[in-house]
Amino acid sequence: MVRIYSRRLRPSPSMVVAFLALVVALGGTSYAVTRLPANSVGSKQLKAGAVARADIKNGAVNGAKVAKDALTGNDINEASLAQVASAVTAGSAAHANSTGVLDKIAYRIGTASVPAAPDPTTPASAVATAACDGGQLVAGGGVKVEDPDNTSVIDSYPDAGGRAWSARVDNNDASAHNFTAYAICIPALAAG
């Protein structure tokens, strides 16, 4: 009869050292993966959409690091912006008073008729004037002719000491033609 002795297997000391080395090696690798050196990850290592706004530290991104035209109005906190220099002037009381003038601009017209030319070589001429109301000055003006083929504007100018706009028109036709002078009037206090 054969006797079988049961003997417990014990690892040899070299096997124990090898096992411990394996455990330390694996543990060291996982440690190295969680501790990356600074600036070692760039855009090539990141997947598209991998970084969200919440992942970025406040103040980590400045204007030098943002691509041109990459931001929209929704990305900007308007409360953090300073007032534009010209907006400071626009908000002043002096500017507010002068912009109120724009609400008081008035347009005036003056019409006239150029008589028929006395003969084919001599044109007839007429003047129309658009006058501003009392307390107003003319800021600009113009003229419109009814028949540009047979009439021509000779001149268009401020008149009456800056209180009207006049236009002179010539007519080479055998018929009379109408024309209109226009004045852009503003309060006299606004001139200056």
The residue assigned the tokens 């008035």 is 106
Residue 151 lies inside a defined structural domain of this protein: yes
**Which residue, among 145, 142, 146, 135, has the nearest Cα to 166 in the 3D structure?**
142
In the structure, what pLDDT confidence band is assigned to residue 171 with cuts at 50, 70 and 90? very high
Q: How many domains does the chain have?
A: 1
Residue 121 lies inside a defined structural domain of this protein: yes
Handedness of CA 85, 87, 88, 89 (dihedral sign): positive
Q: 99-131 pLDDT, tens per residue?
A: 555 668 899 999 999 999 999 899 999 999 999
pLDDT of amino acid 191: 47
Q: What is the pTM of this model?
A: 0.48
In the structure, what pLDDT confidence band is assigned to residue 17 with cuts at 50, 70 and 90? confident
Amino acid at 105: I
3-state helix vs strand vs coil in the chain, percent to 5:
30, 30, 40
- CATH code, domain carrying 126: 2.60.40
Cβ-Cβ contacts under 8 Å for 120 (sequence gap 6 or more): 172
Residue 68 lies inside a defined structural domain of this protein: no
Residue 181 lies inside a defined structural domain of this protein: yes
Residue 186 lies inside a defined structural domain of this protein: yes
The residue assigned the tokens 């000491």 is 161
Q: How far apart are CA 179 and CA 151, in angstroms?
A: 9
In terms of residue numbers, what domain contains 184?
105-190
Residue 24 lies inside a defined structural domain of this protein: no
